[in-house]
Structure 1
Amino acid sequence: MSKRIELKDLDIYYDKFKAVEGVNMSIDPRSVTAFIGPSGCGKSTVLRSLNRMHEVIPKAWVDGEILLDGDNLYGPGVDPVLVRRQVGMVFQRPNPFPTMSIRENVIAGVRLNNRRISKSDADTLVEKSLTGANLWNEVKDRLDLPGAGLSGGQQQRLCIARAIAVEPEVLLMDEPCSALDPISTLAIEDLIDELKSEYTIVIVTHNMQQASRVSDRTAFFNIAGTGKPGKLIEYNSTKQIFENPVEKQTEDYVSGRFG
Structure 2
Amino acid sequence: MSKSIDVTDLNVYYGDFLAVEDISLHIEPRSVTAFIGPSGCGKSTFLRTLNRMHEVIPGARVEGQVLLDGDDLYASGVDPVNVRRNVGMVFQRPNPFPTMSIRENVLAGVRLNNRRISRSDADALVEKSLRGANLWNEVKDRLDKPGAGLSGGQRQRLCIARAIAVEPQVLLMDEPCSALDPISTYAIEELIADLKNDYTIVIVTHNMQQASRVSERTAFFNIAGTGKPGKLIEYNETATIFTTPSVQATEDYVSGRFG
AA of the residue aligned to 1:27 = I
Instruction: Determine the structure 2 residue equivalent to 1:140.
Output: 140
CA distance in 1: counterparts of 2:76 and 2:182, whole angstroms: 44
Gaps of 5+ in 1: none
User: CA RMSD of the aligned region, Å?
Assistant: 0.3
SS in 2 for 1:111: helix
1:26 aligns with 2:20: no
AA of the residue aligned to 1:179 = A
How far did 1:209 drift? 0.4
1:137-216 to structure 2, matched below 5 A, reads: 137-216=137-216
How far did 1:104 drift? 0.3
Task: Give the TM-score taking structure 1 as reference length.
Answer: 1.00
List per-residue Cα deviations over 1:203-229 (Å, max 9, x = no partner). 000000000000000000000111111
CA distance in 1: counterparts of 2:253 and 2:33, whole angstroms: 18
Instruction: Determine the structure 1 residue equivalent to 2:5.
Output: 5
How far did 1:82 drift? 0.1
List per-residue Cα deviations over 1:30-76 (Å, max 9, x = no partner). 00000000000000000000000001000000000000000110000
1:128 aligns with 2:144: no
Return structure 1 stretches of 4+ with deviation > 3 angstroms. none
CA distance in 2: counterparts of 1:154 and 1:186, whole angstroms: 12
Instruction: Determine the structure 2 residue equivalent to 1:78.
Output: 78
CA distance in 1: counterparts of 2:116 and 2:97, whole angstroms: 20
Instruction: Determine the structure 2 residue equivalent to 1:52.
Output: 52
SS in 2 for 1:76: coil
Gaps of 5+ in 2: none
SS in 2 for 1:226: coil
How far did 1:243 drift? 0.5
CA distance in 1: counterparts of 2:71 and 2:109, whole angstroms: 23
SS in 1 for 2:179: coil
How far did 1:245 drift? 0.3
CA distance in 2: counterparts of 1:190 and 1:181, whole angstroms: 14
Task: Give the TM-score taking structure 2 as reference length.
Answer: 1.00
AA of the residue aligned to 2:106 = V
Alignment length (residue pairs): 259
1:101 aligns with 2:109: no
1:111 aligns with 2:111: yes
CA distance in 2: counterparts of 1:128 and 1:121, whole angstroms: 10
- The sequence identity of aligned pairs, in percent, is 81
How far did 1:94 drift? 0.2
CA distance in 1: counterparts of 2:75 and 2:250, whole angstroms: 33
CA distance in 2: counterparts of 1:211 and 1:160, whole angstroms: 19
CA distance in 2: counterparts of 1:251 and 1:109, whole angstroms: 41
SS in 1 for 2:8: strand
SS in 1 for 2:225: coil
CA distance in 1: counterparts of 2:65 and 2:161, whole angstroms: 29
CA distance in 2: counterparts of 1:109 and 1:226, whole angstroms: 37
Instruction: Determine the structure 2 residue equivalent to 1:89.
Output: 89
CA distance in 1: counterparts of 2:180 and 2:223, whole angstroms: 28
